[in-house]
Amino acid sequence: MTLEFPYTRIHSTAVALLLAWFGVTAGCSDKPRSRLEQLWNAGRIVMITDNNAHNYYQYRRQPAGFEYELAEAFADYLGVDLQVVTPGWDKMFGALKSGGGDFIAAGIAQEPYWREFVDFSDAYLASERHVIVHMDNSGIRTMDDLNGKKVHVRVGTSNHKRLMKLNDEGYDVRIVPHDNVTTEELIRRVAAREIDITMADSHLAFLNQRYYPTIRKAFSVAGIQRFGWAVRKGDRELAEIINAFFDRIIREGKFAQIRDRYYANMDQFDYFELKKFHERVKSRMPSYKSVIIRHARQYDFDWRLVAALIYQESHFDPQAISYTGVRGLMQLTLETAGDLGIEDRRDPVESIGGGIKYLKWLYQLFDDIPGSDRILFALASYNIGYGHVRDAQEIARNQGFEPNRWIALKRTLPLLKQSVYYRQTTYGYARGNEPVRYVDRILIYYDILRWKALGLG
């Protein structure tokens, strides 16, 4: 009998578990099955989580979220299907205990009080806890400023417990607990001035600043918190398999790729840029929305991705002209416009239709690029040119990187500015840091537009 694990290198503990299973059960069918065998026989693993932008949500009937993408990679690692259940924050631990799922992946801090009920994997994320206020609220700067103030938190969370501990230490915080109201919703209420203060882990605050640019992280309440996936008490075998998985994806860069999709690149924006984007989505985008939707559907693109591209190019200004002479909403060159049959680059309908057609042409050229990386290659080519992207792939190949992955090109595109590299390429010098920044910014705008599509903003 040959048993193959989906990856060739497994954490030593997982190997020991497999060997133990073979040694104990090979001739004893009445012995308990190993945890790993149970999952393989079931053909699935069940993730318990909560609905929010960090954990799990549906966009265009497709699942997304940082925790979901990690769990999906974990299921692939095991060679089984992933099933997701969302019983509600206050019911997650009960669902795990009763067998309603195999593990909780929901940004759970490894606090001592949770360890009474669950076992944790090794930490995969670290974050600080911050007090969140409106940008105009200058009166909250230190812990002492919370005395006598109302702080709104979700009941039963580590934030709630931390505030109670602060009161035990002598502070006078007026805690306002909310049943099954997400931290993200409380952040929204702060941004809308419906409440004054809430608390959030720094990664959640970081993520939500793109959606609510008027919020401010006032100060840190506690030191570093570490987050892990929770398994049933005593299910150490599954915890060790999870540890092996995190060990692998961190080492190979997959974890960084998923993390960066949600939490990178915000340092490229300031408050005024994001606020202006939100304003122009309301004031300028509606004039072009129907045209964008029509042409995006024609070429099988998500119209919100196209809108993000247009904003990055022109800020929805049809009269925009760059210092290089490109014009219009889609900032097409004279040569490209001629090839596409565009007579007036400043005409919104012509520009949008031609620009999306050009993006589709680039996308089709990258039929060798797998998965979601393909559109990123196409977007980079829209900015810097197809040939330079292929040059960056060749540099990646020479340096031992995977040339068909965007995470590799983020490292090698900037090298096109250095003579030691560009002299060995077909298309020569390019400002290769620009397409990296360009794609990153489009993805942030796209994420905001997707978030708005969920009815959250």
Residues with a catalytic annotation lie at: 313
CA angle at 103 for the pair 102 and 107, rounded to the nearest 5°: 165
**H or E, element range at 332:** none
Which residues make Cβ contacts (< 8 Å) with residue 402, sequence separation at least 6? 396, 408
- Contact status, residue 59 vs residue 450, Cβ threshold 8 Å: yes
Q: What are phi and psi of 104, to 5 degrees?
A: -105, 125
Residue with structure tokens 């109670």? 164
Q: What are phi and psi of 235, to 5 degrees?
A: -90, 60
Residue with structure tokens 């692998």? 248
Q: How far is CA 373 from CA 124, 196, 297, in A?
A: 24, 41, 20
Q: What are phi and psi of 391, to 5 degrees?
A: -60, -45
Which letter, b or e, does each residue of 322-353 get, where b requires 16 or more Cβ atoms within 10 Å of its Cβ? eeeebbbbbbbeeebbeebebeebeebebbbb
Task: Pinpoint the alpha helices (H) of 228-347.
Answer: 236-252, 254-263, 271-283, 289-298, 303-314, 334-340
Query: In 10 A of CB 250, how many CB atoms?
Result: 14
- Contact status, residue 353 vs residue 295, Cβ threshold 8 Å: yes
Which letter, b or e, does each residue of 173-203 get, where b requires 16 or more Cβ atoms within 10 Å of its Cβ? beeebbeebbbbebbbbbbeeebbbbbbbbb
Tokens linked to 74:
């974990």
Distance CA 246, CA 227 (A): 12
Which residues make Cβ contacts (< 8 Å) with residue 99, sequence separation at least 6? none
Q: Which of 199, 187, 115, 126 is nearest to 162 (CA)?
A: 199
